[in-house]
């Protein structure tokens, strides 16, 4: 684990140095010289992960959540998740142009929302054909103030142009997590968030998403639910989908309401061929599940 941590720290330091450069290239939608919008990790460690009144010189203009980084979950065929942004200058220069694909963790701070279904929040893109292999959605509105929607399933990493190779056994996502933790708390995607329109998740504010090695899981939640033990707890980034959300991704497209768990809605989906030749998780490798188009 020490070796893994060292690799991650090196990667993080490269990102920190590369997100702002006086007179350097500018990611569209950000202030001049900015390629990303998140805190300096070295400063975060020095200040015990709280930056107080520190201002983000690379903050995008309001309103927030920023366009192109909004997620939501309605059912098994209508939702958006954040993925590495193929139009990120940083990712293009450091990965795509070199014939490499970024992992979820390497793209922290450089995300783009992709959606299944006809509704696209502002700036969101249709899910690449075959990107989502399966989706199991849970609606849990049983506790007021802690209501959430949850989706988990299998990915076709090749269709999504992301690297899902483990760096070590059981390091399924290498700590990769996307969430809307605030800048002052050292969040990597502080201006992302939930589409809380009537077409998205009305009244919701937070999300937490983990992915890698052919699996993904995400929750969208009510306000003030990011603390430990609550539905959108952002401190579980190294726990993974299995431990944090208690899910084992498998094939199929289903929806269930926790208030009436005996009634399960199952969607029949026409599936294109799988692009990824092998999948790391046992459930994915043994299922032989093809992929679904989000168009």
Task: For 124-148, give one letter per residue: b (16+ CB within 10 A) or e.
Answer: bbbbbebbbbbbbbbbbeeeeebbb
Q: Which two tokens stand for residue 172?
A: 């399924």
Q: How far from 178 is each of 118, 145, 193, 261, 262, CA to CA, in Å?
A: 23, 22, 10, 28, 32
Greater confidence (213 vs 255) lies with 255
pLDDT band at 25 (very low <50, low <70, confident <90, very high): very high
pLDDT above 80 for 282: no
Identify the weakest region by mean pLDDT among 65-69, 70-74, 233-237, 258-262. Answer: 233-237
pLDDT above 90 for 93: yes
- What's the confidence (pLDDT) of residue 169? 65
* Each residue's pLDDT tens digit, 160-200: 999 987 766 666 556 689 999 999 999 999 999 999 999 99
Q: State the chain's mean pLDDT as an integer.
A: 86
- What's the confidence (pLDDT) of residue 171? 62
Is pTM, for the whole model, over 0.75?
yes
pLDDT above 90 for 275: no
Average of per-residue pLDDT across 88-116: 95
> Of 11-20, 76-85, 241-250, where does the model show the most confidence?
76-85
**Percent helix / strand / coil, the chain, rounded to 5:** 15, 20, 60
Beta bridge partners of 220: 149, 207
pLDDT above 70 for 143: yes
pLDDT band at 7 (very low <50, low <70, confident <90, very high): very low
Greater confidence (238 vs 2) lies with 238
pLDDT above 60 for 18: no
- What's the confidence (pLDDT) of residue 118? 95
* Each residue's pLDDT tens digit, 51-64: 988 889 999 999 99
- What's the confidence (pLDDT) of residue 165? 79
Q: Which two tokens stand for residue 189?
A: 């995607």
pLDDT above 60 for 140: yes
Q: How many percent of the chain have pLDDT more than 90? A: 69
């Amino acid at each position: 684990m020490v070796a893994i941590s060292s690799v991650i720290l090196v990667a993080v330091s490269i990102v920190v140095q590369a997100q702002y450069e006086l007179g350097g290239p500018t990611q569209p939608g950000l202030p001049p010289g900015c390629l990303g919008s998140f805190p300096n990790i070295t400063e975060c460690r020095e200040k015990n992960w709280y930056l107080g009144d520190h201002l983000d010189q690379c903050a995008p203009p309001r309103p927030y959540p920023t366009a192109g980084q909004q997620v939501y979950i309605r059912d098994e065929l209508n939702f958006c998740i954040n993925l590495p942004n193929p139009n990120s200058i940083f990712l293009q220069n450091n990965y795509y142009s070199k014939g490499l694909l970024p992992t979820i963790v390497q793209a922290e701070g450089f995300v783009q929302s992709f959606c299944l279904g006809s509704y696209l929040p502002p700036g969101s893109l249709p899910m690449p054909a075959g990107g989502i292999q399966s989706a199991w959605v849970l609606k849990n509105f049983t506790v007021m103030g802690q209501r959430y929607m949850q989706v988990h399933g299998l990915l076709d990493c090749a269709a999504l142009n992301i690297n899902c190779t483990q760096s070590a056994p059981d390091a399924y996502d290498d700590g990769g997590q996307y969430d809307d933790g605030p800048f002052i708390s050292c969040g990597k995607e502080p201006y992302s968030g939930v589409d809380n329109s009537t077409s998205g998740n009305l009244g919701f504010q937070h999300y937490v998403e983990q992915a890698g090695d052919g699996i993904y899981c995400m929750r969208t939640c009510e306000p003030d639910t990011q603390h430990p033990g609550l539905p959108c707890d952002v401190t579980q980034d190294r726990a993974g989908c299995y431990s944090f959300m208690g899910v084992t991704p498998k094939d199929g497209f289903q929806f269930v309401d926790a208030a009436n768990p005996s009634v399960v809605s199952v969607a029949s989906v026409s599936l294109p061929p799988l692009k990824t030749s092998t999948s790391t998780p046992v459930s994915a490798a043994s299922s032989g599940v093809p992929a679904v188009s989000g168009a």
